[in-house]
Amino acid sequence: MIRSLHEMTEVATEEKARGHTIGFVPTMGYLHEGHARLIDECREEADVVIVSIFVNPLQFGPGEDFERYPRDEKRDSRIAENHGVDYLFLPAVEEMYPGNPSVSVHVLNRTSILCGKSRPGHFDGVVTVLAKLFHITKADMAYFGLKDAQQIAVVKGMVDDLNYPVMIRPVPTIREDDGLAKSSRNVYLTETERIEASQLIRSLQAGQQLIIDGEKNPANILNEVKKYIKKHTNGSIDYVELWSYPALKEVTTIDQPVIIAIAVNFSNARLIDNLILNHYGEMVTNPFQ
């Protein structure tokens, strides 16, 4: 377990000097099976596995759940050890942001839609912390779950535009037995909401089926998804959107890979989910290939 930026950088530099490849899994902790899958994928490919646990205040807006975001360091450490993590990096906020910054990272594209629309500045906070973490860990590969598909698209844009020597590895969304996407925020759901939340993936699959059946009009697909959510849950729809992926541009007809993405508010949790599909409606597991 490492808490110091200086120590983490020294360790990573030593590993690179030995000729080892470094795989990196950035997390905000409260690890679950989705994180474990990322770690396992990293373990298969990299010589050295580094996992960071850092609840990043820069990506939380006013009134969001930074203070109550679930934290359990002992449990996280146990899960990391069980999955073969070589180095667990747990910096404090004061360690990551010791003073007023002289430089900020600002995202220009891919952020005015989906989660970025209702969370201004969120992705600036994401890329700022990742810019630091990529440097600190000397990562060759970084692993992200496709549940946060907009985040991956934004991070891939940063890596490409700023020529980071980091390969972004997307990993398919890990789900509960009933289809609900794994999330640290699922613990906030009431028993009734937890049952309803399992219908979110089915709303996306209803849209997918339309594409499989030959529907090319995005508006018809989105209407079907919205109708399904309203019929089967009491959640409040934040958004139901369809864009090209990973460019996240407007689509007028389904003739390229697209993402159907949703966000639904329950009483104490905002859940997101998505499907990335080709123009035949088939799942796309690696949009960067």
Q: Which sequence positions are flagged as catalytic?
A: 35
> Would you tell me the crossing angle of helices 149-161 and 122-137 to the nearest 10 degrees?
60
Element (H, E) at 200: helix 200-212
**Phi and psi at residue 282, to the nearest 5°:** -85, 145
* Residue 113 φ/ψ region, left for φ over 0, alpha for ψ in the -120 to 50 degree band, beta for the rest: beta
Q: Are 228 and 199 in contact (CB under 8 A)?
A: yes
Least confident stretch, 59-73, 173-187, 204-218, 253-267: 59-73
Is there a binding annotation on residue 151?
yes
Residue 208 and residue 277: Cα distance in Å, rounded?
8
What domains does the chain contain, in order, with CATH numbers? 5-171 (3.40.50.620), 184-277 (3.30.1300.10)
pLDDT score of 229 more than 80: yes
pTM of the model: 0.89
Is there a binding annotation on residue 28?
yes
Is there a binding annotation on residue 68?
no
Structure tokens at 96: 């990551």
Is there a binding annotation on residue 148?
yes
Residue 126 and residue 155: Cα distance in Å, rounded?
8
Write out pLDDT tens, residues 4-45: 999 999 999 999 999 999 999 999 998 988 899 999 999 999
Residue 262 and residue 29: Cα distance in Å, rounded?
23
Is there a binding annotation on residue 32?
yes
User: Averaged over 220-237, what is the pLDDT?
Assistant: 98
Q: Is the peptide bond before 170 cis (omega within 30 degrees of 0)?
A: no
Structure tokens at 42: 């990293």
